[in-house]
Structure 1
């Protein structure tokens, strides 16, 4: 027996683990992919060292679709656990950067290897950490690998920044109301979802509370954006929460803009929400920042609390007061912007509460006496009612289209299920489609009921005259709290422009009808 054969017979076996990694999942579905090629190269190298007692472990340590910039990789964690357990003597990789692109992370791993007397080999770079020269070469290569990764990251960030500053979409998850065009280069409006987004903004302006708006969205069975990835996987479609609703309401995408960090730029896509509505929602969100829209005590009976707005600043006017000699209280409505930025920033500043409240109540009383004002009120109420009807009809059409698409998909899925098959992706998809159809059909029924109700709420001139005739004698007999509730029942918002002294009142779409029912109802009951 030769000396070489004697060495081979007596040398202890060196257990070699091959680690492979690929940054993206692209191509991993192929029969022979990049991970297989890396492993084959490692196996061939180990075979070349068979005379030294090298043996390839059968376990595969493959990380497909994971970055080398961190250690959050399942196969790597499993490999390090086996190293700690003493199951590995040598680690073989195709190239150093397959194990790590971070010098700091690799230094930590080398410490672990040294502690357990593990050697490390890079097949294509002829590196072996059992020698001092191998360690030096390894550190040099890792430095360049980390430098390359940082350069790539900087270039990517610069490219995204430049694209967004030009108003271009730079990728990411689509949002409700938009789809991504087939080329993936820009966002295009989704007609049905865009109508839904606009309704959500209107619901928040109506309820003035995130929680109340979420509850209304839940009643309608609406979900967040659901989309299908290029590989056919479904994402999103979760129910709304207070957090996700706030994120939607503050997303500048809906105003036709693109955001990069703290910068906001005009976008190439079509805006879903008009600027006036967008500003109203942002002002309301800012005002409700501390309470989330929850009801706040109205200690001194401010009739216009929550509905009076400063036109020049586009923000709310909040009730305030001052006292003189502890016996007399003066009430005001103050522009919140003027309070924060200084009185010089706002032409409206403040206005006496009693004066503007008497004016608004006087305007309500005058509706039935002034034929011109009466006609304008009827027109405004009818226009708002028609707008609500149009919104509901648009949603109804969208639901019809979704039901047709889902029913068509059900027929396809049923054809893919073999008799006796259970708990397959096809059966799961079928159950999901059936749930969606049930939710859509329930929402359809609710919309049809709302349309019927809106039809009944359409006001005509005799109803308004009758309601306004009853308003005067009833008003003075109400408590301050009841007066506040009555005003806010029929008035949606009051806009005050301090620079011109003009004041405009916007009524709720069905406010006059509701007022007539509230005032006339008790009288009818007593007469009965």
Structure 2
């Protein structure tokens, strides 16, 4: 009987694979010699190669292994030959699954250097013992890495991983140390001060991006460029809550005194922490409307793109309300030419324009056409962001795979793997939200009748609502109002989903 044999080889890292004769070749050569020694039993080597270079044995997500198992399932292989058991898998669970598949397909498994064959009961017993020890060894290594990281943290030493803005890594000593980057340290202190003055992660992130500031740029040991991304709420929050800036090292839930120099005063750090804590319990900005301003969260300055926030002055015991561009409030008149608008005037003008649209069929049609265009643009932008997120996930997965496949117990690599896993989890969450948004937008169908029904009922509904309810209605109907200071004009952008929702509400109340 002919026994068709396939040789599987694996190496955890890519180091040395470009050599003329590498580790995979050596493993294959040993397998070929063993198969040749069994020629009298009918063993013959299949020409197809199953080589996984640069892949960890900790999981089964390996291209050559997947091809091997597909060929096993197709009945094209009678015996799988490896140099050592752990070349096929280091995971007892994965190995048990592979062995189960081999048994179902009547495929033998042979380890060349450990001299056993699963065709025999003694070979199967030996295999299970070897795998148990391999799994035990892997768990012990993991415990040692965790203990080492914990010991480093208690001594105040940097645990490794992704460098943070404000510090460089000095690798001239046996244990890498953090040293202050003076230019970046100035930026970090400015970021803390900005948050105290603005009180919003989103506003601060926008301000930093407007200034052209980026997250920490760094180079890996292999020479790859990393970091240098724009600020968002997530990475800004991580920066503002990192105790490393006050000379501390955080390990899990514990914080220890670090051996590196602080760059932020503890008083400033804890004031920011308290502000973050307070803001975490506040409702959405659009829902905070103490003075009943109708355009709260809706009015934007066309000149600089920033929001126009509701402000007021008190004179002769009367309160005068205004909308003022945030750029002007934070940076002065030189930052933006937009002037403060009397709140009652701009609110009345916006409501009157909505009323005009409600009464004019031609204007209603124009709003419908504009809304459709805007919806398509939003959908296209959302799809683009979804594609970008998908690429980011693939990149992070590849980076994580390369990091874990090195098999290194180095603390820096372990921290890097943990950071990559955390970023991957956040990106998956972001992808899920974007995917849901795309699905919702694709399912949304704004009809001309929705526009007509909503607008025709606007006056009837408006007169019966309280100021808070009127603001809520505008928030559903309008996405944003852009004020152009140079032209003293404004433009209304309608909320696509809100039009349909108000239309259905009006339809229901009419029944």
State the Cα distance separating 1:64 from its structure 2 match: 3.1
Q: Deviations over 1:231-256 (max 9, x none)?
A: 22222222222212212211222222
Counterpart-to-counterpart distance in 1, 2:7 and 2:119: 17
Aligned to 1:19: 8
Residues 513-524 of structure 1 aligned to structure 2 (within 5 Å): none
Matched, 1:248 2:248: no
Residue in structure 1 matching 2:94, options 73, 93, 105: 105
Matched, 1:93 2:79: no
Q: Deviations over 1:76-112 (max 9, x none)?
A: 2232222222232211111111211222221111110
Query: Where does the alignment leave 5 or more consecutive residues of structure 2 unmatched?
Result: 293-303, 305-312, 341-511
Counterpart-to-counterpart distance in 2, 1:140 and 1:16: 25
Change (3 A) 1:144 1:110: same
State the Cα distance separating 1:278 from its structure 2 match: 0.7
State the Cα distance separating 1:141 from its structure 2 match: 0.8
State the Cα distance separating 1:75 from its structure 2 match: 2.5
Residue in structure 2 matching 1:151, options 124, 137, 140: 140
Aligned to 1:479: 319
- SS class of match (2:280): coil
Q: Is the 8 A contact 2:249 2:255 kept in 1?
A: yes
Aligned to 1:177: 166
Counterpart-to-counterpart distance in 2, 1:293 and 1:164: 38
Aligned to 1:259: 250
Say which one has the larger Rg: 1
Counterpart-to-counterpart distance in 1, 2:318 and 2:59: 69
Q: Deviations over 1:389-436 (max 9, x none)?
A: xxxxxxxxxxxxxxxxxxxxxxxxxxxxxxxxxxxxxxxxxxxxxxxx
Aligned to 1:191: 182
Aligned to 1:66: 55
Counterpart-to-counterpart distance in 1, 2:18 and 2:225: 19
Change (3 A) 1:294 1:182: same
Q: Deviations over 1:169-213 (max 9, x none)?
A: 122121222222234622222222222222222222222111111
TM-score normalised by L of structure 1: 0.54
Counterpart-to-counterpart distance in 2, 1:205 and 1:299: 22
Query: Where does the alignment leave 5 or more consecutive residues of structure 1 unmatched?
Result: 1-10, 302-445, 447-471, 491-507, 519-528
Q: CA RMSD in A?
A: 3.4
State the Cα distance separating 1:128 from its structure 2 match: 0.7
Q: Is the 8 A contact 2:171 2:177 kept in 1?
A: no
State the Cα distance separating 1:287 from its structure 2 match: 0.9
State the Cα distance separating 1:485 from its structure 2 match: 8.8
Q: Deviations over 1:53-89 (max 9, x none)?
A: 3233333323333332222333322322222222322
Change (3 A) 1:283 1:139: same
Residue in structure 2 matching 1:232, options 223, 238, 241: 223
Aligned to 2:156: 167
State the Cα distance separating 1:115 from its structure 2 match: 0.8
Q: Is the 8 A contact 1:208 1:293 kept in 2?
A: no
Identify which range, 79-88 or 162-171, moves more after superposition: 79-88
Q: Deviations over 1:299-342 (max 9, x none)?
A: 379xxxxxxxxxxxxxxxxxxxxxxxxxxxxxxxxxxxxxxxxx
Aligned to 1:140: 129
Counterpart-to-counterpart distance in 2, 1:230 and 1:44: 38
Aligned to 1:34: 23
Aligned to 1:118: 107
Change (3 A) 1:232 1:261: same
Counterpart-to-counterpart distance in 2, 1:141 and 1:81: 26
Counterpart-to-counterpart distance in 2, 1:185 and 1:267: 13
Matched, 1:275 2:266: yes
Counterpart-to-counterpart distance in 2, 1:181 and 1:95: 40
| Higher relative contact order structure (alpha carbons within 8 Å, sequence separation ≥ 6) | 2
TM-score normalised by L of structure 2: 0.56
Residue in structure 2 matching 1:284, options 275, 287, 312: 275
Change (3 A) 1:174 1:60: farther
Q: Is the 8 A contact 1:209 1:293 kept in 2?
A: no
State the Cα distance separating 1:282 from its structure 2 match: 0.8
Question: How many pairs are equivalent?
Answer: 317
Counterpart-to-counterpart distance in 1, 2:194 and 2:247: 20
Q: Is the 8 A contact 1:210 1:292 kept in 2?
A: no
Counterpart-to-counterpart distance in 2, 1:290 and 1:170: 33
- SS class of match (1:288): helix
Change (3 A) 1:181 1:25: farther
Q: Is the 8 A contact 2:166 2:188 kept in 1?
A: yes
Q: Deviations over 1:374-396 (max 9, x none)?
A: xxxxxxxxxxxxxxxxxxxxxxx
Q: Is the 8 A contact 1:21 1:63 kept in 2?
A: yes
Moved over 6 A (4+): 508-511
Q: Is the 8 A contact 1:68 1:99 kept in 2?
A: yes
Aligned to 2:415: none
